[in-house]
Each structure stands twice: as C-alpha cells, then as structure tokens.
Amino acid sequence: MSRPAIARIDLSALRHNYRLARSRHGGRALAVIKANAYGHGAVTCARALASEADAFAVAIVEEALELRDAGIRQPILVLEGAFGPDDLAHATMHDLWMVAHNAEQLALIEAHRSIRPLTVWLKMDSGMHRAGIAPADYAAAHARLRALPQVGPIVLMTHFARADEPNEAATADQIATFDRATANLPGERSLCNSGGILCWPAGYRDWARPGILLYGADPMPSDDHGLKPVMTLESAIMNIRDLAPGEALGYGGRFVSDTPTRVGLVAMGYADGYPRVAPTGTPVAVDGQLTRVIGRVSMDMMTVDLTDLPAARIGSRVELWGNTVPINTVAHAAGTIAYELLCNIKRVRRDYIG
C-alpha cells in the first residue's frame, strides 16, 4: 500500500460550480484554470469541463500549450499576455486569445505578422493599479489595435481589486471608471472574477471569469452560495503515542499539555502543501470527527489531538480540508487564503471521481 496522502478531486462538483457561476453572472464564462487549475490538475479539469465551458483562461502561454497538447479545443485566454514575439507566434499557431495590458504588449502585437486575426482582450487599469492601460489612454489603445489587420475581435476587460468586499466603494468606482472610458467603444465586456460574480452583478454579462468559485472555495464564506468543495485533502493516522503531562511534542517543543494527550501522527506535511504556519487548534477531522492540529507541522508529517477520539487507530482517515473541514477555516488559521493553499498542493496523489 502506498502513502495515504491524497487529494480527491470531485469533477461533478467542479461542473456544478461552473454552471452555478455562469448562471449567476449570465452570459458566457471562461473557466480559469491557471496554476494547474489552482492545484486541481489543469488537463483533467479542462477535460471535465470541455463539453460545457465556453472557454478557458490560464496565466501564461506554456499553460495554454499544455492544454492544446492534451487535445483541448476550446478558446484559451492567456491572462498575462505575451512576454515576447514567441508567445504571439504560439498564440497564432495554437489559436490562443491574448490579453494586452501595457504599451509594450501593444507594440508586440503591432509587430506580429499573422495569417489569422488574433483575438485580443484589452485590459484597463480601472483602479487596481497593478497592470492595464490607463483609462485616459484606453480609447487610443483600442483604436491602435483596431487599425491592425492582424487583430480580430477586441474584448474590453478590467479586473477588480476588492470584489469580495460587498460594501466597498472601490469596486463601484472601478465599474464607473471602466464605463466612462469604454462608453463609445464596440466589443464584448468582461469584468467579474469570482468575487464580482457573487457581489457585483453590474450588467456586464458578456464574459465572466470565475476561478476560485469553480473549486468550491467561496471567497465570501459568510453567505452560503451553494458551492461544492472540489478538493478533499486527506491522509491517515500512521502512528499513535500517549503524551504525558509536561512532555513536549515535535519541533521546537511547541506543544506541551498539563493533561495526558493522545497524539495521532498524520502522513501529511508542508512538503505536500499543508501550511506549516497552521497553529495548534487548526481544525482537522479524524474519521469524520472534528479535532485539532497540535504542535508544529513538519515537512512530511503533522500531529493531531486524538484525546477525545478513543476509537481512532492507525489507518484512521484524516481530512485536512474538504466537506467537513472548510478550506477557508484552515486558510484563516494559517493567515492566508484558500487560493494559496490549493495552488501549493504537490507530491500527494490526485484521485479523480465524477
């Protein structure tokens, strides 16, 4: 038998979440499967969505080529756009849509010679101040692209900085800025990431761009939006030890109890992507019963409290996150977000169902 550390990926939950995102937003939806589908396996996720996804999005050309090599035929948008002429050559050869977010990328497109017109998603900086064409320069950039024979459809896009904060004026300001700067421009629009889909149904219904929603990690977990977790990270108890009062557990001797403690050792560590910074008290489930992480997470192993779980034994199933332990709770305890936990998953076997 092999090590029991497994990421179970429920592909029917992925399809459920995609449908939910698309119907909530209206229009069409790019399934964002960058970063190996947020740790879920890009090729398998793309195949699972292939019959219904309108298009896919990845961050870089290399990720798009992996999907094309695997036979994925849908349109694929490259969210970071071209880093050089080679990326545009690949885009033409493999029929990729390219974001253009600055003057350098516009110049690359201008210099690009293509037998078929390139679809460009022209990104505006409407207030995130990270990338994108300034609103004042946007119409000129659009006109410049439209004049090029090698450019086909141009989609108008922007990205929200605080879409998951429903009471923040920042998103309304971004929408207003985008509106003003695109008022007279033709073309489809795309504004909403997952937070936007949930909080800012602003009427831009051409293209949604759901990422984290697809994987069932709700960016606003205080409301139930009906998402289903896609990944269950699980392993098993590989050793059990009774800790006497005063004995220190693990690296740094960080956990010391004044009462007898039954300690379960779990085959999962930060080399698998479980966050090392998850403190004592972070929830885990053993055979479906909630308990807590105790002591420091090590590279390949971690320790959990079995004191109140007398039936637990070597081989007992441990859920690190999934349906019983919300990934957002683990992320919060570790001072990060579900996105980072999911992207960090490695070494563990992925088992697909559905």
Ligand X SMILES: *Cc1c(COP(=O)(O)O)cnc(C)c1O
Query: What are the residues binding ligand X (CB under 6 A)?
Result: 32, 34, 79, 159, 193-195, 209-213
Q: How far is the CB of 9 from ligand X (least distance, A)?
A: 17
CA–CA–CA angle 83, 142, 178 (5° rounding):
95
**Shorter beta-carbon distance to ligand X: residue 16 or 34:** 34
Q: How far is the CB of 210 from ligand X (least distance, A)?
A: 5
Residues sharing a CB contact under 8 Å with residue 10, sequence separation 6 or more, in sequence order: 228, 229, 230, 231, 232, 353, 354
Instruction: Please check whether residue 120 is in contact with residue 88, taking contact to mean a CB–CB distance below 8 angstroms.
Output: no
Which run of H or E residues covers position 98? strand 96-100
CA–CA–CA angle 201, 79, 67 (5° rounding):
110
Angle between helices 169-182 and 135-146 (to 10 degrees): 40
Q: What is the token pair recorded at 31?
A: 């399934």
3-state class (DSSP) for residue 163: coil
Beta bridge partners of 106: none
**Shorter beta-carbon distance to ligand X: residue 80 or 234:** 80
Sign of CA dihedral 223, 227, 233, 236: positive
**Shorter beta-carbon distance to ligand X: residue 5 or 79:** 79
3-state class (DSSP) for residue 161: coil
**From the CB of residue 206, how many other CB atoms can be counted at a distance below 10 Å?**
16
- Catalytic-labelled residue, pool 123, 228, 251, 270: 251
Residue identified by tokens 């709770």 is 329
Closest residue to ligand X, judged by C-beta, is 211
Whole-angstrom Cα distance, residue 135 to residue 177? 7
Q: How far is the CB of 264 from ligand X (least distance, A)?
A: 34
**Shorter beta-carbon distance to ligand X: residue 181 or 214:** 214
- Catalytic-labelled residue, pool 18, 34, 38, 204: 34
Q: Is 118 exposed, middle or buried (0-12, 13-18, 19+ CB in 10 A)?
A: buried
**Shorter beta-carbon distance to ligand X: residue 142 or 159:** 159
Is 130 marked as a binding-site residue?
A: yes
**Shorter beta-carbon distance to ligand X: residue 79 or 278:** 79
Q: Is 251 considered catalytic here?
A: yes
Q: Is 274 considered catalytic here?
A: no
Whole-angstrom Cα distance, residue 53 to residue 189? 18
**From the CB of residue 222, how many other CB atoms can be counted at a distance below 10 Å?**
7
3-state class (DSSP) for residue 52: coil
Is 301 marked as a binding-site residue?
A: no
Instruction: Please check whether residue 20 is in contact with residue 210, taking contact to mean a CB–CB distance below 8 angstroms.
Output: no
Active site amino acids: 34, 251
Q: Which residues are annotated as a binding site?
A: 130, 299
Q: Which residues are annotated as a binding site for substrate?
A: 130, 299
